[in-house]
Structure 1
Amino acid sequence: MKQSELLKHITDDELRKSVVYSQFLFLIIGHVLSVFLLDGLLAWTSLIQLDVKEVVYYGVLPGIGIILIDLLLMYFLPMDYFDDGGINKRVFSNLSIPKIILLTMLIAIAEEVLFRGIIQTTFGFIFASLLFAVVHVRYLKKPVLLASIVLVSFLLGLLYEITENLLVTIVAHFTVDVLSGLLIRFKYRGD
Structure 2
Amino acid sequence: MKNKQAELIKRMSSNQLKQQVYLSQLLILVVGIVFSFIVFESITDWVKLFEINSSQWLYYGVIPGFIVVLVDLLLMTLLPKSYLDDGGINEKLFKNCSFVEIFVIALLVSISEEVLFRGVVQTSFGYIPASLLFALIHIRYLSKPILLCSIVVLSFYLGYMFEVTHNLFVTIIAHFIIDFTLALIIRFRSKGDSNVRG
Q: One-letter code of the match for 1:79?
A: K
Written as runs of structure 1 = structure 2, the 5 A alignment for 1:96-107 is 96-107=98-109
Q: One-letter code of the match for 1:44?
A: W
Structure 1 moving runs of 4+ over 4 Å: none
Cα distance between partner residues in 2 of 1:8 and 1:84? 13
Post-superposition shift, 1:43?
A: 2.9
Cα distance between partner residues in 1 of 2:102 and 2:29? 19
Cα distance between partner residues in 2 of 1:173 and 1:26? 15
Cα distance between partner residues in 1 of 2:106 and 2:45? 25
Post-superposition shift, 1:20?
A: 0.7
Structure 1 window deviating more from structure 2 (131-140 vs 95-104): it is: 95-104
Post-superposition shift, 1:24?
A: 0.3
Deviations 1:116-155 (A, max 9, x none): 0000010000000000000000000000000000000000
Corresponding residue for residue 183 of structure 1 = 185
Post-superposition shift, 1:8?
A: 1.9
Q: One-letter code of the match for 1:128?
A: A
Post-superposition shift, 1:37?
A: 1.3
- Contact 1:129/1:150 (<8 A) preserved: yes
SS of equivalent to 1:172: helix
Cα distance between partner residues in 2 of 1:77 and 1:7? 24
Cα distance between partner residues in 1 of 2:152 and 2:115? 18
SS of equivalent to 2:188: helix
In the alignment, structure 1 segments of 5+ residues that lack a partner are none
- Contact 2:6/2:88 (<8 A) preserved: no
Corresponding residue for residue 5 of structure 1 = 7
SS of equivalent to 1:39: coil
The equivalent position to 1:149 in structure 2, one of 125, 148, 151, is 151
The answer on 1:70 being equivalent to 2:72 is yes
Structure 1 window deviating more from structure 2 (41-50 vs 111-120): it is: 41-50
Deviations 1:63-122 (A, max 9, x none): 100010111112111111000001000111111111111110000000000000000010
The equivalent position to 1:94 in structure 2, one of 68, 72, 96, is 96
Q: One-letter code of the match for 2:86?
A: D
Written as runs of structure 1 = structure 2, the 5 A alignment for 1:48-63 is 48-63=50-65
In the alignment, structure 2 segments of 5+ residues that lack a partner are none
Cα distance between partner residues in 1 of 2:101 and 2:5? 25
Post-superposition shift, 1:41?
A: 3.8
Post-superposition shift, 1:40?
A: 4.3
The answer on 1:167 being equivalent to 2:166 is no
Cα distance between partner residues in 2 of 1:74 and 1:61? 20
What is the number of residues matched between the two proteins?
191
- Contact 2:17/2:93 (<8 A) preserved: yes
Cα distance between partner residues in 1 of 2:103 and 2:46? 23
Corresponding residue for residue 30 of structure 1 = 32
The answer on 1:130 being equivalent to 2:132 is yes
Cα distance between partner residues in 2 of 1:6 and 1:183? 24
Q: One-letter code of the match for 1:39?
A: E
Identity of aligned residues (%): 48
